[in-house]
A = this chain, B = another copy of it.
Amino acid sequence: MAWEFSNEKPIYLQVSDQIVSGILTGSYPKGERLPSVREFAVLAAVNPNTVSRALSELESVGLIETQRNTGKFVTQEGEIIEMARKKRGALLAADFLKSMAALGYTKKQTMDLVETAWEEVQADERDDA
């Protein structure tokens, strides 16, 4: 699938999100070498500078490491990956719930909505495939 970007968020963040997603789901396994900046740039149809910026974000969190002259690698340490997933998930959940509460949703309503919405997301993914 092509890389598509919304214009609500900076592209470099969307790129880094994509790559994080790849790391967390194992598409880019831990310890393995990542595609080069240029390769990513082609894949995403984006300026190499943008990819570069996206990768520095990941490096600053410790998810990837640069090895001189050989490229960038996914970190070996499973802990860091796991921690990143948890931290990110918790943040997303907190933001989501805060917003729902502001809309006047009760806990039950929210849980129900999540339940049904989950089905739809699955359906969408099937459509895309």
Closest chain B residue to A81 by CB distance?
A: B104
Are A92's CB and B99's CB within 8 A? Answer: yes
Residues of B close to A105: CB separation below 8 A: 85, 89
Residues of B close to A114: CB separation below 8 A: 93, 96-97, 110-111, 114
Closest chain B residue to A93 by CB distance?
A: B117
- How many chain A residues touch B (CB < 8 A): the figure is 41
Tell me, in angstroms, the Cα distance from A115 to B4 when the chains sit together.
Answer: 32
Question: Is the CB of A102 closer than 8 A to any CB of chain B?
Answer: yes
Residues of B close to A25: CB separation below 8 A: 102-104
Question: Is the CB of A66 closer than 8 A to any CB of chain B?
Answer: yes
By a beta-carbon cutoff of 8 Å, the part of chain A in contact with chain B is 7, 10-11, 17, 20-21, 24-26, 60, 66-68, 85, 88-90, 92-94, 96-105, 107, 110-111, 113-115, 117-118, 120-121, 125
19 A-B pairs with C-beta separation under 8 A: A7-B68, A11-B68, A17-B102, A20-B103, A24-B102, A24-B103, A24-B104, A25-B102, A25-B103, A25-B104, A85-B104, A92-B99, A92-B103, A93-B96, A96-B96, A97-B118, A97-B121, A110-B118, A114-B114
